[in-house]
Amino acid sequence: MADLLNITAGWLELGDDPLLVYSLAAAALLAFVSLVSAVGRLDFAALLRPRALVALCCAVLLAFAGVALAELALTDPELEGLALGAARFPLYVVALAFGPTVGLAAGALFAAATAVGPFPGWSEAILCLELLVLGWLAIYPSPRAVRWAGPLDALLAHVFTAGTAGVAFLAWRDGSVSLAALLAEQRAALPGLLIAWALLALLSPRFYRRAFPGSRIAPLTASAYPELPARAARVAGAGAPLAEPPEAGPEAAFAPLVRRRRRRRRLVAPVLPVDDPNG
């Protein structure tokens, strides 16, 4: 394994820094696991629905508008960092709703629109990895089942990304990595990220099921919705709304449409009694 990493590092001209090599290898492993999980569930098939594609484009446009307004209207660096972190909220939502591939697509489109240089750099690549991992973590716990899953998944995705690709970036830029340097790198965007995570806590599982149907990472069984049996037990005459049925599983996106044939009534000749005078 060490020889393979050394050969790969020499081929990519990464130098002889083991921290850079191992952190990049950890980030690559994280991305590989997320992509394998995405391909296994065919989560990209959700984009075949026009509604999902429109949701992806709207999320990228909202995030881009937030970044543009922050750069144009705000002059205070702290307020600008706050707005830039909060602008990731719509990207987090689509990644949580549709899975790793859609999260990666949202990150790539956003990176292409907001890259500082002619091409995306380290920061854009780290954001794409974070959205990819976030879509993977959204499989379980799912925000379609419990409210707290959204902010928890976003927090874990950010920690995993900062601990792998973020460490690799510091090792490449500074030549060394320390906890103080890692925290200083996160200090500018952290308040805005906290706002984005708090906004995710406001989105209920019903919101995800209604606003983003047809997701390939939706829970497969009704046991993932613990609130449904209690609501269904309510009396309809009391004015309480009936609970919604659980969302169909991923296989429902490609399920063939079956037409039911209407049974026709056969015309049967009437049976006349024996004493009928017309007989």
pLDDT value of position 115 = 79
What is Dmax (Cα atoms) for the chain?
112
pLDDT for res 270:
67
pTM: 0.75
Q: Which domains are seen in the chain, by residue range? A: 26-216 (1.10.1760)
Q: In this predicted structure, what is the pLDDT of residue 230?
A: 44
Per-residue confidence (pLDDT) for residue 105, from 0 to 100: 94
Instruction: Kindly report the backbone phi and psi dihedral angles of residue 225, in degrees, each rounded to the nearest multiple of 5, phi listed first.
Output: -115, 80
pLDDT for the residue 275? 63
- Predicted local distance difference test score (pLDDT) of residue 11: 40
Q: How far apart are CA 139 and CA 249, in angstroms?
A: 12
Q: How many angstroms separate the CA atoms of 214 and 225, rounded?
A: 17
Mean pLDDT, each 10-residue run in order, the chain (279 residues): 47 66 93 93 89 94 91 78 89 95 94 79 92 94 92 95 92 83 84 93 93 86 50 44 50 50 68 60
Per the CB < 8 A criterion, the answer to whether 172 and 12 are in contact is no
Long-range contacts of 53-60 (CB under 8 A, 24+ apart): 55/94, 55/97, 55/98, 55/211, 55/212, 56/94, 56/98, 56/102, 56/105, 56/106, 56/109, 58/90, 59/90, 59/91, 59/93, 59/94, 59/106, 60/90, 60/91, 60/106, 60/109, 60/110, 60/113
Res 247: pLDDT = 55
Phi, psi of 240 (to 5 degrees): -80, 140
pLDDT recorded at residue 146: 93
